[in-house]
Amino acid sequence: MQEVAIVGAGQTRYGDFPELGVKELFALAYREMLKSVDRGLDPQQIQAAYIGCLSAGSGFQLGQLAPLLMGHVGLPHIAAVRVENACASGGYALYSAACAVAAGKYDLVLAAGVEKMRDVSSAKGRYWLGVSGDTEYERLAGSTFAGIYALMAARYMHQYGLKREHLSMVAVKNHRHALDNPKAQFRKEITLEDALRGAPVAHPFNIWDCSPTSDGAAVVLLCNARIARSFTDRPVYLKGFAVASDYLAIHDRDSITGLAATRRAAAAAYQQAGVKPADISFAEVHDCFTIAEIMAYADLGFCREGEAWRLLEEGTTRREGRLPVNNSGGLKAKGHPIGATGVGMAVEIFSQLRGEAREPSRQLKNPGLALSHNVGGSGGTAAVFIYRGGA
């Protein structure tokens, strides 16, 4: 298997952009990626593209989206495919691109994601997001995306004694991190009191426990590691990458206080990279709801089952802590343009490992091995990646 490197990365700001369509959003991220390649790049060298997208505007251009976008940026001739796996669409696009390079099929490949979520009504948006669960047994029975994760949170609190304040501590941390991120949708610091007083959504959640709907795009350029130095002296290497699945409906699972798909994907990624959870120095994890980040701590091996609260109370996962988590602001505050999310995590890690965070206050000191974690829906799929910077 060939070693895989990332040599370029770019993304848009995340937020509400009524004046931009999916083609314009994608082009913005693509052009930023081109500028990030240190020695320049002839785009005609790119051989394939894998583009994550759930729906791009609740049904807009569902068919042939990938060739549409590649034609828009002047690459109509390359092999291009849309990848859909709910909220993990971007992660699976990145995984597909990495596998294609690792297998020796291509030497230079784009992994990208794009989503246009802010052009539909709130009611239609809730229906649209519900398709990521079991339609027959969950959505058509009246459940929402927030409602499914709220069930997980309630069970977790009952089983492990997690306090309501711990959920809010995740929101406070991630909003604080997003404050310094020029790409983030919500650059607004909140207090614990603010987070506890939010408008109710689905017990025990309030509005501050939920990630937003977002417009946005992200692009990374992957290549065979043997040619990475022809593009940059500072490649970022993908040391481990894996995906896994689980039952889609949560009533079919043995437990709903963690995600088996995450645990399986993480175990495979750690094994491939030859590292342990304790070797990770920072991570971008899937916090579509505050409980999702809390469950990820144990699923990724950062703590024992049921003890995530310790990491929050001890400040371990803050920017200045031993294991910063969601330094970007995470889905919760950076934003969650579904198809772009998993690729956007790789963009964040690429900039951190190269010491290029736009705001100096955001740059982590001496970042080592990094991890990104992207979940589809309520845990039916998960993708985990482990990264190392190049000397």
**Which residues are tagged catalytic?**
87, 336
φ and ψ at residue 58, rounded to 5 degrees? 50, 50
- The CB density around residue 103, as the number of other CB atoms within 10 Å, is 10
The DSSP line for 151-167 is HHHHHHHHHH---HHHH
3-state secondary structure of 269: helix
> Which residues are registered as beta bridge partners of 210?
289
Amino acid code (one letter) for 65: L
CA-CA distance, 155 to 291, in Å (whole number)? Answer: 11
3-state secondary structure of 48: strand
Exposure string for 147-184, b = 16+ CB within 10 A, e = fewer: bbbbbbbbebbeebebeeebbbbbbbbbbbbbbbbebb
Alpha carbon distances (Å) from 167 to 218, 313, 333, 375: 28, 11, 14, 19
